[in-house]
Amino acid sequence: MAALLLFLLAAPLGTSIAAAPDSTTTKDAGGVIEGDREGAGPADTTGAGPGKQEECPSLRAVRVANGGIRIDGILNEPDWETAPIASDFTQHEPDDGMPATEKTLVRVVFDDESIYVGVEAYDTQPNRITGRLTRRDEDSPSDWIHILFDSYNDKRTGFRFSVNPAGVKTDGMYSDDVNEDSNWDAVWNVATSRDGDGWTAEFSIPFSQLRYTNNGSSSSWGFQVARQICRNNELSFWSPTPRDCNQIVSRCGRLNGFTNLPKLRRLEILPYAVGSVETFSDPGDDPFRNTSDLDPRLGADIKYGITSNMTLDMTINPDFGQVEQDPSEFNLTAYETYFEEKRPFFIEGANLFRYRLMFGDGNAERLFYSRRIGRRPQFDPLDSSRWPDTDGFYEETPDFSTILGAAKVTGRTSNGWSFGVMNALTDSEEAQVQTADGTHHDVAVEPMTNYFVGRAMKDFNEGRSTFGGIVTSVTRDIPHEDLEFLNRQAFTGGVDFSHRWHNDELQFDLKLMGSHVRGSEEAMLELQTSSARYFQRPDAHHLEVDSTLTSMSGFAANLWTGKFAGEPWLFGLGFLTRSPGFEANDMGYMRYSDGNLVALWAGYRDFDPGKILRTISLNFNFWEGWNYGGERYDLGGNVNGWVQFMNYWSIYGGINRNRERQDNSHLRGGPAIIMPSSNSSWYGFETDYRKSISLGYDGDYWWTDEGGSNSLRIAPWITIRPAGRFDIRISPSYRITTEDLQYVDEVGDDYILAHLDMKLFSLTTRFNFTITPEMSLQFYGMPFIAAGQYSDYRTVSAPRAENYDDRFTPYNYLAVADNPNFNFRQFRSNLVFRWEYNPGSTIYFVWSRGATVEDEGDDARKFSLGRDLGNLFSEQGDNTFLIKINKWFSL
């Protein structure tokens, strides 16, 4: 979160406790104070609104001329003494627009290899400087120095480098002015030191780690420096950045004086070796679980600088064994669960390829979902269409498809085009099946697949306007009729336009998208009847299933415009449409098509509300949705808010109302059913995160007007930091759900619903112990329990009846099917030792453990926390032990 706190325009920061020092005083070591703002002395930025940066601060970088810079956290080289100095920092929080409470001096020098930044962070209370020791890229409540380079000069792309007094470094990359990819990692160096006047940070950033347009003999970049003082919750900027502006990179000052920058064609190679062994609990007669063979693997990541502003990244036979496991889940819906990307190759630079289907930032639906690459095989090797009776069968299916290789080229041209192209190839996969008579079979479960995505954007009007496009492609080599349900080819594309004006307070965003898929008649039938569209609904008169189709096309669009910066009032208007044939799930993530949605939003922000409250944020939302047949499927609104007190505690909450609506998907291909009006609320609080013990609570409650359905979630959490290098976070969650209309099954022409009583429990624990900033130990563990009991089975006889009870007829489901009761227990954990033994080179030791137990039908007992946890932890579980070593070479 250090990356977010650097530029988060509404971050909770604290009061100042010291008078502003004389910002024109320099250390005895020397230095030249430059005119910090072009054509004027220190500017009065108090009350400056967004976009009103009339006086841009500037600093001159000078070439090293006296023997080089040694990175030791002490600015004692002659070049530092003669370099110009930037000062005059302005608070972002807590007192927006006021001078910083402590003096900060910044110098910049460079040579043919690197750019060096020296920051002296004076402090009148040096004994209260906070620097917690954590692993790299881990945020902590500390003092921080952050530097940001807009080396493309596009006011949209920035490279951030940060350090705290303990020498812990983080980095990130900005796109679209405000979107940060904190997973971007560069190879760079920094050292810190402390003395009686404060602390000092000395950065060395190789030019090879930056991207820039080489303009010949002289260059000027955007540049920003920010400082956090933990005890004050203070964030100040060299180039003033008001809280009510919606800008980050475009608020940079200027860094002048670069001459004859290197025209780099850098080559970085990161080969790796992995060895892993897996052990199984109680293999029984399963022939695929009674071995524990060593699995050695080799691979490499390659980065090549084609030019100083264009980079090729490649990965060959990648391994992600050190990546944390996905959280446990028990999904009773018809929709796929969205999981965050955690694999380094795909999260670095992900912002460039982000293309959301929904307006706003909170929705997971998108045209490019990188978890599709290397996904779990999609065919069940024990599918009933292949084996009528699977009693006595055993199978082993790969957990993921093997990524043979992937490559991406990213960069920016001198005339303002940003672009990215990525291609990945995954191997075909087979499952091993042993039948009851002992015969072994190889069953194709996933075809060889090629994935492609390309993105380009052109910015103009000083970065306030952009025009761009995206295209994705998936091509599968279908080797067997079992896999004919998959699309052979799938294409999506989109164009987008964005414009900010009126001091960057007003914004207009528009996206137009299309899709085209090809495949067998079976594949097209699968698409038409999938949960995204349900063309087979008997009452959907605007839809029909065509069993002869071998291709399908569709379109989508969204618009979002309004006032998103300034204060106190903000507003937005959004519209979304997706045709019934729009399909993005081969390369993207999409839950539904055949829909239109209009949304209205108003917000109120007050960053200085009085003596008790520090910040107030209120939101008001309304929306209505209808399908292409003109039938309304959603109508609702909510009010929510967040308040921070002067002691940095905060509370939040909201209430939501959905009117009675027609649900087109609840019966999973059956007729639309009238769902009762529903209500929901959410609420919580959080204490001051800077303290050694911080805690919070997150809860929600949902209920319907008819039928008695309701759900309550209780989720407290606590974070404990007993020492500077150790922290633990414990997050239990308990949900009690009563669902009167839980979908169960389709029997003939009957759609079966039931009353479900379900309880879910999880306990997420994270433990971090940092030995040095380069050496750390991390633990993640999560026991998960889900137990449900069904009763009151009914068939849907009159789905649109006005009276709730008239819609259903009792049904003796257990006379024709098995009891669907369940008790699911799972434990997942990772223990990772990480040592960056040289810059960019790392050793990982990983222990992963998993145990899953599921009781079904009459054997599924009701939820009992003590019993279920005891049974879960008594399971021996499966264990994976892994060692991974990589070595970074720069050629």
Helix (H) / strand (E) element for 525: namely: helix 521-528
Note the pTM of the prediction, 2 decimals.
Answer: 0.85
Mean pLDDT, the chain, whole residue set: 89
Q: What is the 3-state secondary structure (H, E, C) of 581-593?
A: CCCCCCCCECCCC
Q: Which helix (H) or strand (E) holds 492?
A: strand 489-501
Please list the residues that pair with 427 across neighbouring strands: none
Confidence at 778, pLDDT banded by 50, 70, 90: very high
506 to each of 254, 500, 837, how far by Cα in Å? 25, 6, 49
Q: pLDDT band at 44, cuts 50/70/90?
A: very low
Per-residue burial over 98-122, b = 16 or more CB atoms within 10 Å of its CB, e = otherwise: ebbbbbbbbbbbbbeebbbbbbbbb
d(CA 2, CA 228): 9
Q: Is the pLDDT confidence value at 243 over 50?
A: yes
Q: In terms of DSSP H, where are the helices of 137-179?
A: none
pLDDT above 70: residue 301: yes
pLDDT category, 750, cuts 50, 70, 90? very high
Measured between alpha carbons, how far is 147 from 145 in angstroms, rounded to an integer?
7
More confident residue, 312 or 8: 312
| CA dihedral of residues 245, 19, 16, 248 (deg, nearest 10) | 20
Note the pLDDT tens digit of each residue in 801-859: 999 999 999 999 999 999 999 999 999 999 999 999 998 899 999 999 999 999 999 88
Mean pLDDT, rounded, for 541-550: 95
- What does the alpha-carbon distance between residue 455 and residue 76 come to, in Å, rounded to a whole number? 46
pLDDT value of position 3: 36
- DSSP bridge partners of 644: 615, 650
Residue listed under structure tokens 């400056």: 48
Q: Which residues make Cβ contacts (< 8 Å) with residue 530, sequence separation at least 6?
A: none
What is the predicted pLDDT for the residue at 362? 60
Q: Which residue has the higher pLDDT, 881 or 47?
A: 881
Enclosing H/E stretch for 6: helix 2-7
Alpha-carbon distance of 813 to 755, in angstroms, equals: 12
pLDDT over 90 (residue 730): yes
Amino acid at 891: L
pLDDT reading at 236 higher than 60: yes
- CB contact at 8 A, 663 and 751: no
Q: What pLDDT was estimated at residue 331?
A: 86
Strand, helix or coil for residue 3: helix
Q: Looking at 18-27, 438-447, 532-541, which range is the least confident one?
A: 18-27
pLDDT category of residue 342 using cuts at 50, 70 and 90: confident
User: What length does the chain have?
Assistant: 891
pLDDT of residue 324: 67
- Give the burial string for 645-671 (b: 16+ CB within 10 Å, else e): eeebbbebbbebebeebbebbbbbbbb
The pLDDT value given to residue 380: 92
Q: Could you tell me which of 221, 123, 184, 173 has the C-alpha nearest to residue 7?
A: 173
Of the pLDDT bands very low, low, confident and very high (cuts 50, 70, 90), residue 321 is: low
Residue among 857, 698, 833 at smallest CA distance from 762: 698
Confidence of residue 361 (pLDDT cuts 50, 70, 90): low
In tens, the pLDDT along 635-657 reads 999 999 999 999 999 999 999 99
DSSP run (H or E) holding 4: helix 2-7
687 pLDDT tier (thresholds 50, 70, 90):
very high
Give mean pLDDT, residues 191-207.
96
State mean pLDDT over 299-311: 88
pLDDT for res 322: 65
Cα 769 to Cα 61: distance, rounded to the nearest angstrom: 39
Position 34 confidence tier, pLDDT thresholds 50, 70, 90: very low
Amino acid found at 49: G
Q: Using DSSP, state whether 526 is helix, strand or coil.
A: helix
What's the average model confidence in pLDDT over 28-39? 36
Question: 304: burial class by Cβ within 10 Å (0-12, 13-18, 19+)?
Answer: middle
pLDDT digit string, tens, across residues 370-384: 999 999 999 999 988
- The amino acid that residue 365 corresponds to is E
CA distance 22 to 552: 69
CA–CA separation, 190 and 72 (whole Å)? 8
For residue 187, CA distances in Å to 170, 207, 208, 268 come to 11, 11, 9, 10
Give the tens place of pLDDT for each residue, 117-130. Answer: 999 999 999 999 99
**DSSP code per residue over 689-742:** TTSSEEEEEEEEEEEESSTT-EEEEEEEEEEEEEETTEEEEEEEEEEEEEEEEE
**Burial bucket for residue 639 (CB in 10 Å: 0-12, 13-18, 19+):** middle
Taking the chain, what is the end-to-end CA distance rounded to the nearest angstrom? Answer: 33
d(CA 15, CA 658): 41
Residues 482-498: pLDDT tens digits? 999 999 999 999 999 99
pLDDT-derived band at 216 (thresholds 50, 70, 90) equals: low
User: Up-side HSE of residue 685: CA atoms within 13 Å toward CB?
Assistant: 9
Q: 401-425 pLDDT, tens per residue?
A: 999 999 999 988 878 888 999 999 9
